[in-house]
Structure 1
Amino acid sequence: MLAQTPFHVNWLVERLHREVVTDSVMTHARGRLLDVGCGSRPFLQLLADHSTRAFGVEIDRQRYGRVRAESGERLVAETESNEDVPQPDAWADGLRLPFDDGIFETVVSFQVLEHVPKPSVLMAEMCRVLTPGGTLVLTAPHIWGIHEEPHDYFRFTPFGLRHLAESAGLTVEQVTPLAGYWVTHAARFCQYLRQFEKIGLHPLTRPLMAISQLTCMLLDRVHPVYSDAWNHLLIARRTVANV
């Protein structure tokens, strides 16, 4: 498949993200697990293998504006069955998760925080549903183009992620960049090239994408500049004092 080769526009960043998510889940996941913003649940098997039960909740963006305008209360809706795409176990509006306090040993959220109008509220909610000693594993972008318009609101420095987590009552164990400047440069360059595929220049853009991503992957290993990381990983824990 093209997506699994350097000829794909996001091959490098998706590969790095998948490696970091896999390692983090294998290291930190345990017990009942909640995937916040699970989407089509691409990590379902990984999460299920490292938890006693993996739940997924997705943001219902089509109803978000109505729910927020009416009361700001949570939204829970039944999911429609689809044999081809794994479905969420519940839906939420991004302001409140439809679960009781302190029932998950692990909460994960991958590339979701930037799509929530009030990230501090969602961070507090993820803390609320964690058990004492439970762990949050989260990734969020620092340098990335606008996507999933118009639901794209924020980017996060490592200091911003730490502030959000600590303000929610979590103890931060680590905030780690996912590679450095060169990977970010390759990702942005490949996104730039993508526009030319609309006029049929695939034979030109695909080789350039492959050369750029392979070269920058090597350069990033030699001399990474982490202040320009495209993404960060946050590991945080709810302590007994948070209860």
Structure 2
Amino acid sequence: MHTPLHPQWLVCGRNLKLIEWLKGFGGDGIVLDIGCAGCWPERFLPGNCHYVGLDYPETATEWYRTAPDIFADAGRLPIATKSVDVALLLDVLEHLDSVDHAIEEIARILKPGGRLLIQVPFLYPLHDEPRDFTRLSRHGISNLLQRYGLVVEQCLAVGTPMETAGLLTNIAISKVAWDWVSRKSPLMPLILVIPFFVVIINLAAKVLSWLAYDNDFMPFSYQVSASKPH
């Protein structure tokens, strides 16, 4: 994953801003990680934070084999109103069949002044099917949060146009190779040249990104920090 040989090398490092936000939380408040999976954010929170991992029963037990602190549906949180300091919704929103119910619940449980961190894909393939329902632009995310009284502080577009194009190309090539293998196609020997193409695409996308003007025209994901007004 950390070398250009990997089809998703261009995704590496995307969590650096999230980690910065996590490390910056002060106080000894409650951090609720909704859709926690392996609970990776806990490693970067200050030691005095009280981390609580929550996940959907099917996702935790059948897909990821994880043990959250709480089993629940993001649209019906068994959490007291105005009791949570920080809510995390990292790579989860696209898997919820009702994003409105989830954001409404998060707005309810957050304390005044509480924060919500979201990471969500935009230009990215279907994954974890059949529970992949939604893609929202930055405008859609802002509109969704505002409907429930949450204020967007930062919305970062992750991935330059060239990085996103390179990432999607590499994923498409890898999917073709996987199909050749799974179907025992006579084209299987061609997979030997795929690492060469992956490296070239990764490096070309990175160099062209450095040469291009900065813009958020086609990111592969968004990272959002929002708050609940006092």
Bigger CA drift: 202-211 or 185-194?
Answer: 202-211
- In structure 1, the residue matched to 2:164 is 184
Bigger CA drift: 37-46 or 173-182?
Answer: 37-46
The answer on whether the counterparts of 2:34 and 2:74 sit within 8 Å (CA) in structure 1 is no
For the pair 1:43 / 2:33, whether they are aligned, the reply is: no
Change in 2 beyond 3 A, CA 1:119/1:219: same
For the pair 1:120 / 2:100, whether they are aligned, the reply is: yes
Unpaired runs of 5+ residues, structure 1, are 63-78
For the pair 1:226 / 2:206, whether they are aligned, the reply is: no
Cα offsets for 1:160-192 (capped at 9, x unmatched): 000111111111112110122111101101111
For the pair 1:4 / 2:7, whether they are aligned, the reply is: no
For the pair 1:59 / 2:56, whether they are aligned, the reply is: yes
Of 106, 131, 137 in structure 1, the residue corresponding to residue 117 of structure 2 is 137
Q: Distance in 2 between matches of 1:29 and 1:138?
A: 19
Q: Distance in 1 between matches of 2:144 and 2:196?
A: 40
For the pair 1:214 / 2:203, whether they are aligned, the reply is: yes
Aligned-pair identity (%):
23
The answer on whether the counterparts of 2:122 and 2:136 sit within 8 Å (CA) in structure 1 is yes
Report the alpha carbon displacement of residue 18 of structure 1 after superposing the two structures with TM: 2.0
Q: Distance in 2 between matches of 1:21 and 1:123?
A: 19
The answer on whether the counterparts of 2:22 and 2:41 sit within 8 Å (CA) in structure 1 is no
For the pair 1:25 / 2:15, whether they are aligned, the reply is: no
The answer on whether the counterparts of 1:136 and 1:235 sit within 8 Å (CA) in structure 2 is yes
Which residue type is aligned with residue 101 of structure 1?
T
Runs of 4+ in 1 over 6 A off after TM superposition: none
Report the alpha carbon displacement of residue 207 of structure 1 after superposing the two structures with TM: 2.7
Bigger CA drift: 24-33 or 102-111?
Answer: 24-33
Which residue type is aligned with residue 36 of structure 1?
I
Length-normalised TM-score, structure 2: 0.85
Cα offsets for 1:182-213 (capped at 9, x unmatched): 11101101111112433354432223222222
Report the alpha carbon displacement of residue 38 of structure 1 after superposing the two structures with TM: 0.8
Unpaired runs of 5+ residues, structure 2, are 182-187
- In structure 2, the residue matched to 1:16 is 13
SS at match of 2:217: helix
For the pair 1:195 / 2:198, whether they are aligned, the reply is: no
Which residue type is aligned with residue 30 of structure 2?
R
Q: Distance in 1 between matches of 2:227 and 2:164?
A: 29
The answer on whether the counterparts of 1:32 and 1:51 sit within 8 Å (CA) in structure 2 is no
The answer on whether the counterparts of 2:86 and 2:110 sit within 8 Å (CA) in structure 1 is yes
Report the alpha carbon displacement of residue 85 of structure 1 after superposing the two structures with TM: 6.7
Query: Would you say how many aligned residue pairs link Structure 1 and Structure 2?
Result: 217
